[in-house]
Copies of this chain bind each other. A is one copy, B any other.
Amino acid sequence: MILWDYWRSTAAYRVRIALNLKGLRAEHRVRHLRRGEQREAAFLAVNPQGLVPALVLEDGTVLTQSLAICEYLDETHPEPPLLPRDPIARARVRAFAQAIAAEIHAVQNLKVLNRVKALGHDQAAANAWAHDVIAEGLAACEALVRDRPEASKEGPFCFGAAPGLADIALVPQLYNARRFGVDLGAMPLLAAAEAACLALPAFAAAAPERQADAE
């Protein structure tokens, strides 16, 4: 497998964690997002969305969108599971992951901040946009974890005693939150889940600073 990657891509970071949790190896190829390499024609032929991550399977099939890739890895390599078995519990975990991927990250990624700047705003205004989107979104995510059913309150992960798709979404988003100076003090449950994750080799090895293209 080939993972099209970038060290500081929040979405690629999710897939790196999932691959590690499943014990899978991929060749990492890098598109430098700040240099716009993801918009080069050769890469658009791989992923017409012009986004990393993209996972190229052995038969040449290209999978895109980080959460869809994680679900694929979970379906084809069921152990350890990234989702609980109960349909309601699965829905809670997926909702949490989507609350991060769609309501937070999609609204404050590099592409969107470039749109803000194209409206005539400076980097400080773009950073303030990202800060506010992340702070508001994570406050809602803290509530989603606070409201989890008793059965999964044992923690220390977002929804129980083992890490899963929610934690895969959380950890890169908290890394991103710190880049934009978001105060995480009011999010003790998210912080506790993150600490438990970062103690695991699968999460630690996926960290941006541990990637070969880290600057």
Most buried by B among A76, A91, A112, A140: A91
Q: Which residue of B lies closest to A121 (CB)?
A: B119
Report how far A95 CA is from B92 CA in the complex, Å.
Answer: 19
In the complex, chain B residues whose CB is within 8 Å of the CB of A133: 115
Q: Do A75 and B90 have beta carbons less than 8 Å apart?
A: yes
Interface-forming stretch among A13-21, A59-67, A174-182, A200-208?
A59-67
Interface-forming stretch among A100-108, A152-160, A191-199?
A100-108
Report how far A87 CA is from B61 CA in the complex, Å.
Answer: 12
Q: Which residue of B lies closest to A77 (CB)?
A: B87
A interface bracket (residues with beta carbon within 8 Å of B) = 35 or more
Q: Do A65 and B50 have beta carbons less than 8 Å apart?
A: no
Residues facing B in A118-147 (CB within 8 A) are 119, 121, 125, 129, 132-133, 140, 143-144, 147
Give me 16 A-to-B residue pairs in the complex whose CB atoms sit less than 8 angstroms apart, sorted by A's number: A48-B143, A51-B103, A63-B91, A63-B95, A64-B144, A65-B99, A65-B102, A69-B91, A69-B95, A71-B90, A72-B88, A102-B105, A106-B107, A107-B107, A115-B129, A115-B132
Using a CB–CB distance below 8 Å, which chain A residues touch chain B? Answer: 48-51, 57, 61, 63-65, 67-69, 71-72, 75-76, 87-88, 90-92, 94-95, 98-99, 101-103, 105-107, 112, 115-116, 119, 121, 125, 129, 132-133, 140, 143-144, 147
